[in-house]
């Protein structure tokens, strides 16, 4: 934004942005209601809407009827003014969403690894496969690449800000290139952010989940892998090499030590650490040790919940293991809140949460609130979408 703080131009731009954010948050509003929410007078609100409509950012979308007096026109952000792409990557494939600037998903495509490679030239790399997934979502939305303004990709591991290398994720071949982000930007024609998947889950939780209104919290993710996102003062803590929150490798009693050598090539099983106690494979093994056979962690915990005795022991031991790992994090960070997320925690539900809370009380001096995630539908994609939208709106909604 240009201009001197306090000048009419800057104040207009601030009012414009406030109005646009309100229209995104509330949906269509009348001039009167927008004036009430912004604190602007009716003439000023009217001028603002005229200005935004002329700029192509706002459009009229009908009128309020069924009440006394003249009908009032409704205004909304023009959803087609910009679009963003949000993606998640796993060893199984790539899922891409395309959404308009209002946040409505208009296209989606999932490419399994086999599909992504079908018909691809041997020279095709990761960027080309990502571009095909995005193109699939754009095709579903009947859009071209020129419609995109931002792209955010969620992956396991962490992008080292010093080297540009994706660390802790060797199970994603082709994603360790130092030039990958530049290749993706060139392929897609938009700025590209590659972000840790658990960090994005934490963004989703803060936007529309259990961490709303909380500036200091930790999200602990227990799934096929284990990780954490640490948010302090409303900002994600990344660490010097991008590895803050990689608690899956954290040494704990009862787990073999992770001695993988180069951490850039350590696999998701890590050979040791916290994840060997609470990740999905560990939960399946724990259930089997108590005579409960299952193929997945959610299935194991569902069967354990229905089986007194052995099932109670499974929950008690898993609660203890999670609490021991959390105690180490809580002792260092002292967050206001801990959010439990991932397939293991969701499957364990309130019963597991209560057991973790009871165990944690005797292990750590800080007493954070402990909540289950309330973002049930693809939290990593939801966080990638919110991150992409926030960045796009900073540019598109700047009227200065």
Least confident of 151-160, 268-277, 306-315, 337-346: 268-277
Tens-digit pLDDT profile for residues 231-242? 999 999 999 988
Which pLDDT does position 349 carry in this prediction? 98
With a cut of 80, say whether residue 388 has pLDDT above it.
yes
Q: Does 212-374 match 8-77 at the fold level?
A: no
pLDDT higher for 252 or 7? 252
pLDDT at 122 > cutoff 60: no
Per-residue pLDDT of 163-219, as tens digits, reads 888 888 878 888 988 899 999 999 999 999 999 999 999 999 999 999 999 999 999
**Residue boundaries of the structural domains of the chain:** 8-77, 81-199+380-396, 212-374
Per-residue pLDDT, 157: 87
How far apart CA 58 and CA 385 sit, in angstroms, is: 21
User: Where is pLDDT greater, at 165 or 318?
Assistant: 318
Which pLDDT score is estimated for 376? 87
Percent of the chain with pLDDT over 90: 75
pLDDT on residue 68: 63
Tell me what the mean pLDDT of segment 369-398 comes to.
96
- Write down the pLDDT at residue 5: 55
DSSP, collapsed to helix, strand or coil, labels residue 389 as: helix
The strand pairing partners of 139, in sequence order, are none
State the pLDDT at residue 302. 98
May I ask the CATH class of domain 212-374? alpha beta
Residue 66 binned pLDDT confidence (cut-offs 50, 70, 90)? low
Residue 115: its pLDDT value, please?
Answer: 56
Angle at 266 between CA 199 and CA 191, to 5 degrees: 40
Strands 217-222 and 337-341: parallel
Confidence band (pLDDT; 50, 70, 90) for 264?
Answer: very low
Q: Which two tokens stand for residue 170?
A: 């060797």
Lowest-confidence pick of 108-117, 123-132, 390-399: 108-117
What's the pLDDT score for residue 178?
Answer: 87
- Please check the confidence at residue 308 and state whether its pLDDT lies above 60: yes
pLDDT tier for residue 112 given thresholds of 50, 70 and 90: confident
Nearest CA to 88 out of 342, 380, 376 is that of 380
Query: Tens of pLDDT along 36-64?
Result: 999 999 999 999 999 999 999 999 998 88
- Does residue 263 have a pLDDT over 60? no
Q: Which fold has domain 8-77?
A: Arc Repressor Mutant, subunit A (1.10.10)
Q: Are 75 and 58 in contact (CB under 8 A)?
A: yes
Asked if 352 contacts 388 with a C-beta cutoff of 8 angstroms, the reply is no
Classify the C-alpha dihedral 160-129-88-251 as positive or negative: negative
Superfamily of domain 81-199+380-396: ATPase, nucleotide binding domain (3.30.420.40)
For all residues of the chain together, what is the average pLDDT?
A: 90
Structure token pair of residue 282: 């560990």
Closest CA to 270 of 246, 249, 299, 240: 249
Predicted TM-score (pTM) of this structure: 0.90
């Amino acid at each position: 934004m240009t201009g001197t703080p306090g000048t009419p131009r800057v104040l207009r731009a601030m009012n414009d942005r406030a109005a646009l954010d309100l229209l995104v948050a509330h949906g269509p509003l009348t001039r009167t209601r927008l004036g009430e929410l912004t604190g602007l007078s009716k003439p000023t609100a009217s001028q603002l809407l005229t200005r935004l409509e002329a700029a192509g950012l706002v459009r009229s979308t009908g009128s309020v009827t069924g009440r006394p007096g003249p009908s009032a026109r409704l205004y909304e952000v023009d959803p087609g003014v910009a679009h963003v792409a949000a993606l998640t990557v796993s060893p199984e494939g790539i899922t891409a969403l395309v959404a308009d600037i209002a946040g409505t998903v208009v296209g989606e495509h999932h490419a399994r690894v086999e599909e992504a490679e079908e018909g691809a030239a041997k020279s095709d790399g990761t960027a080309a496969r990502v571009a095909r997934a995005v193109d699939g979502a754009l095709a579903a939305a009947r859009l071209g690449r020129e419609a995109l303004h931002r792209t955010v990709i969620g992956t396991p591991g962490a992008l080292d800000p010093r080297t540009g290398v994706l660390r802790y994720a060797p199970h994603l071949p082709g994603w360790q290139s130092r030039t990958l982000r530049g290749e993706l930007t060139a392929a897609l024609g938009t700025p590209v952010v590659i972000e840790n998947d658990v960090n994005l889950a934490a963004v989703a939780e803060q936007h529309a989940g259990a961490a709303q209104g909380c500036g200091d919290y930790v999200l602990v993710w227990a799934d096929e892998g284990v990780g954490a996102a640490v948010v302090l003062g409303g900002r994600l803590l990344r660490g010097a090499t991008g590895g803050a929150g990689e608690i899956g490798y954290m040494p704990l009693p009862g787990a073999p030590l992770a001695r993988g050598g180069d951490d850039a090539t350590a696999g998701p099983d890590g050979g040791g650490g916290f994840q060997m106690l609470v990740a999905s494979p560990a939960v399946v093994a724990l259930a089997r040790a108590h005579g409960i056979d299952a193929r997945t962690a959610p299935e194991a915990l569902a069967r354990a919940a229905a089986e007194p005795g052995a099932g109670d022991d499974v929950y008690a031991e898993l609660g203890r293991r999670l609490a021991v790992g959390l105690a180490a994090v809580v002792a260092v960070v002292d967050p206001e809140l801990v959010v439990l997320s991932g397939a293991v925690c969701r499957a364990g539900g309130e019963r597991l949460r209560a057991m973790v809370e009871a165990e944690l009380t005797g292990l750590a001096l800080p007493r954070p609130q402990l909540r289950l995630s309330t973002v049930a539908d693809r939290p990593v994609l939801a966080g990638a979408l919110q991150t992409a939208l926030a960045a796009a709106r900073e540019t598109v909604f700047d009227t200065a």
